[in-house]
Amino acid sequence: MRSIARTVRQPASFIPPLIFPTMLLLVNSGGLASATKLKGFPTDSFLAFALAVPFIQGALFSTMNAGTDLARDIQTGFLNRLALTPLRGSALLAGTLGGVIVLGQVQAAFYVVVGLVSGVDFHAGVLGILVLFAFAAVVSLGFGALGSFMALRTGSGEAIQGLFPLLFVFLFISSMNMPRNLMEIGWFKAAASANPISYLLECVRSLIITGWDGQALALGFGVGVAIAVVAIGLAAVALKERLART
């Protein structure tokens, strides 16, 4: 509840994750609309193609939010005081991540509305939109846990902010603006194929422009769950160490 309340009370925590990805979506979908004329491009609407991006970009903001909030708790000594109570570490982590997941659901709802208002036809229908919300929860959980891990390791909000460009590199070196099969430059295609963000994007994109694509869904959910499991494991170990030190 504290994590959610803190997010709601700070417009700077939830407005940029909604507005900035939407602006980038509008700019890119306007500027790259003619790319849909390329032979083999999977849809005639670049907006529909690019709508997957804000879902994942919003999740990257979750990393920052969760990490910055937890780092602030460490810097202000709040975590030290919590360590004196009978509160279990897993409950603390679950609480922090709960707030991130709620924010992720709000973001997903916002982007679905942006898509519907802009005339995007969700090919997987209403059920697909529900799957999209489930996927948003998995991805928010994963990236939120990653942010928590970084915060627990560094204990510094500034260090978390400094990692932001790195997360953006992952987003840009992916199939964000072009399907992988249409990429011409070999090294970029290889980097995008090795980048897990590509599979997260393609999972969301498949629900919007293809319908039900089992392979894209399996890869997307598989990568999302793997990130979540690894990140939660790392965060749990880091929390244990952090609490032991206090």
Tokens of 97: 């991540």
150-177 core/surface letters (b: 16 or more CB in 10 A; e: else): bbbbbbbbeebeebeeebeebbebbbbb
Among 48, 52, 112, 192, binds other proteins (CB under 8 A): 192
For other proteins, how many residues bind (rule: CB under 8 A)?
Answer: 27
197 binds other proteins (CB under 8 A): no
How far is it, in rounded angstroms, from Cα 74 to Cα 96?
13
Asked if residue 190 binds other proteins (CB under 8 A), the reply is no
Shortest distance (Å) from residue 12 CB to other proteins: 9
Residues sharing a CB contact under 8 Å with residue 180, sequence separation 6 or more, in sequence order = 189, 192, 193, 198
Q: Is 4 in the site for other proteins (CB under 8 A)?
A: no
Give the contact letters, 23-42, x = binds to other proteins (CB under 8 A), - = no: x---xx-xxxxxx-xx----
Taking CB under 8 A as the binding criterion, the range among 111-119, 146-154, 171-179, 202-210 that sits at the site for other proteins is 171-179
Decide: is 222 part of the binding site for other proteins (CB under 8 A). Answer: no
CB of 59 closer than 8 Å to CB of 140:
yes
Angle between helices 89-117 and 11-31 (to 10 degrees): 40
DSSP state of 195: -
Q: Which stretch binds other proteins (CB under 8 A): 97-105, 109-117, 161-169, 201-209?
A: 161-169
**What does the binding site for other proteins look like in residue numbers (CB under 8 A)?**
23, 27-28, 30-35, 37-38, 162, 165, 168-169, 172-173, 176-178, 182-185, 187-188, 192
